[in-house]
Amino acid sequence: MFNNFRPREGETVYLQVHDFLKQMIRTAALQPHDKLPSTREMVGRLGVSRNTIIAAYNQLELEGLIYSIQGKGSFVQEAAGPSVAAWEMNWNSRINDYAGVAEEMDPLKHGVRPERGMIAFSSIAPDEKLFDLNNFKRAFLDRVSIEGEVVLNYGYAQGYQPLIDYLRGYMESKGTDMFGKDILITNGFTEGLDLLLSSFRKRSGRILCENPTHHSALRLFRMHGFEVRGVAMEPDGLDLEQLEAALAEQAYDLAYLIPSYHNPTGIVMSPDKRVEALRLFGRYGVPVVEDGFSEELRYSGAHVAPLIATGGAGNGVAYIGSFSKILFPGIRVGWLAADRELIDALESVKRARSIHTSTLDQSLLYQYLHNGYFDKYLKKARQVYKSRYEAAVHACREHIPFVRLSGDGGLHLFVELDPAVDTEILLDQCYEQGVVFTPGETFYTDGGGRHTMRLGFSRLTEEQIERGISVIGRTIRTWEPANE
């Protein structure tokens, strides 16, 4: 029975013995509760060392294929249950529309991906070279020594209390009246929006937003089955006439707005428009979800208060903040500041869906903020991004024959070209020359924007910015006549 074991050269022998015996158990050559020869006996049968047999038996036991009884030997384990014939599933046919839309609108699967060495204006992620790793490590050690093992246990769905308290104060420092409002910690902005959309009763099934708008928000609206109505942007924010007409024409479940350093246009909505827009939303009873993702990245001009602050004691605005652009996106911490009853409901949704955001990440972030490192980091990051921003504006003015250039701060600029220029085609041509950017169409609610593009400059040096934008400009100038 054991005679046909033939060890192969160059392969670990005990694993070969293990595989050989496992195969005998699988094919029922060895039956449940059969006694295996003793290790000493097996040495003679297989012609290998006793240690090899012991190691193979140990491995089989670890896998639950055999068991041993002291003084009696090793025995074959009863199979866990009857085995079934393998079958093939068509998983694609089981995927619903929710996942289908996520796949269809996944920019990393369908967009152009830069190759190594290319100048990529497609990213608006922070430049990790600016991250102060030493202070991050200090914050980690400080927090872990204060909290001990408890940071590794389950935490609370609403979030880590010291961080909640910190963010409450932070929102107040932005001018927000937090009376009757509360904070929920989320896995970045994206989870905050997803929680809200999952919890909203669909009355009209319609969402109103700026056109263009943040691609990830558009994708979530569509995944959740909302119809999206976009309102055009002017250089100082929403076109209020269009907004009023849209509000008068139809009902909306909510409005989603990015009033500061809007993605993709980079526009900051003027204080007057903020007041007027809120007046309109109030009149039509439409709640506003405000995305404040990079409002700290101001390089010039006066600070403009967020909508939630402009709304005073009212509770019509739910603010979603994020540390992804102003600090580290990898820790995936964001927050929702909104009416207490809404936060209370969302806390339960969060508990049901993901239990809570990593306590380790939250507590470490809290310590980093508490130690005063955030202000120092922000000061340094603003300086570097401001120079890159100025280099990008200068290079666009120098090289790109744009119709409109926008971007009042933040990490990107938005360029509108002559409508004859198709930025998808332009991208292909620039790709050949080692430069990529994001064609604007992906941000539009209505399939428009084929002549627009977003230029993210956060991870590029000033030299790369100048070189890359000059390539784009040169390509537009030579490409236009060819398409006339």
Ligand X SMILES: Cc1ncc(COP(=O)(O)O)c(C=O)c1O
CB of 410 to ligand X, least distance (A): 9
Helices (H), 113-214: 133-147, 161-173, 188-199
Cα 399 to chain centroid distance, Å, stands at 33
Cβ nearer to ligand X, comparing 30 with 112: 112
107 binds ligand X (CB under 6 A): no
Residues 173, 305: Cα–Cα separation, whole Å:
10
Structure tokens at 430: 């620039």
Cis peptide before 264 (omega within 30 of 0): yes
Phi, psi of 178 (to 5 degrees): -90, 5
CB of 229 to ligand X, least distance (A): 18
Residues 136, 132: Cα–Cα separation, whole Å:
6
CB of 262 to ligand X, least distance (A): 7
209 binds ligand X (CB under 6 A): no
Structure tokens at 276: 């007027």
Q: Among 322, 357, 442, 475, which residue sits at the site for ligand X (rule: CB under 6 A)?
A: 322
52 binds ligand X (CB under 6 A): no
Q: What string marks each residue from 267 to 306 as x (binds ligand X by CB under 6 A) or -?
A: ------------------------x-x-------------
Q: Determine contact, residues 119/467, Cβ cutoff 8 Å.
A: yes
Q: Determine contact, residues 464/387, Cβ cutoff 8 Å.
A: no
- Footprint on residues 235-274 left by ligand X (CB under 6 A): 258, 263
Residues 118, 436: Cα–Cα separation, whole Å:
7
CB of 94 to ligand X, least distance (A): 28
* Cβ neighbours of residue 165 closer than 8 Å, sequence gap 6 or more: none
Q: Among 16, 74, 176, 190, which residue sits at the site for ligand X (rule: CB under 6 A)?
A: 190
329 binds ligand X (CB under 6 A): yes
- Footprint on residues 335-394 left by ligand X (CB under 6 A): none
3-state secondary structure at position 150:
helix
Q: Determine contact, residues 217/256, Cβ cutoff 8 Å.
A: yes
Q: Among 189, 335, 414, 443, which residue sits at the site for ligand X (rule: CB under 6 A)?
A: 189
121 binds ligand X (CB under 6 A): no
Residues 160, 153: Cα–Cα separation, whole Å:
12
211 binds ligand X (CB under 6 A): no
3-state secondary structure at position 318:
strand
Interface region with ligand X, contact rule CB under 6 A, candidates 159-167, 185-193, 239-247, 381-389: 185-193
Residues 339, 292: Cα–Cα separation, whole Å:
17
CB nearest ligand X: which residue? Answer: 188
334 binds ligand X (CB under 6 A): yes
In whole angstroms, how far apart are CA 452 and each of 69, 119, 402, 426? 75, 19, 9, 10
Cβ nearer to ligand X, comparing 188 with 468: 188
CB of 360 to ligand X, least distance (A): 18
- Binding-site size, ligand X (CB under 6 A): 13
CB of 108 to ligand X, least distance (A): 13
- Footprint on residues 14-43 left by ligand X (CB under 6 A): none
CB of 274 to ligand X, least distance (A): 17
CB of 324 to ligand X, least distance (A): 3
406 binds ligand X (CB under 6 A): no
Q: Determine contact, residues 259/306, Cβ cutoff 8 Å.
A: yes
CB of 79 to ligand X, least distance (A): 47
Cβ nearer to ligand X, comparing 60 with 126: 126
In whole angstroms, how far apart are CA 13 and each of 26, 112, 128, 436? 20, 48, 47, 53
Cβ nearer to ligand X, comparing 42 with 197: 197
Query: Which residues pair with residue 75 across a beta bridge?
Result: 35, 67
Q: Among 124, 163, 391, 471, which residue sits at the site for ligand X (rule: CB under 6 A)?
A: 124
Binding-site ranges for ligand X (CB under 6 A): 124, 188-190, 214, 258, 263, 291, 293, 322, 324, 329, 334
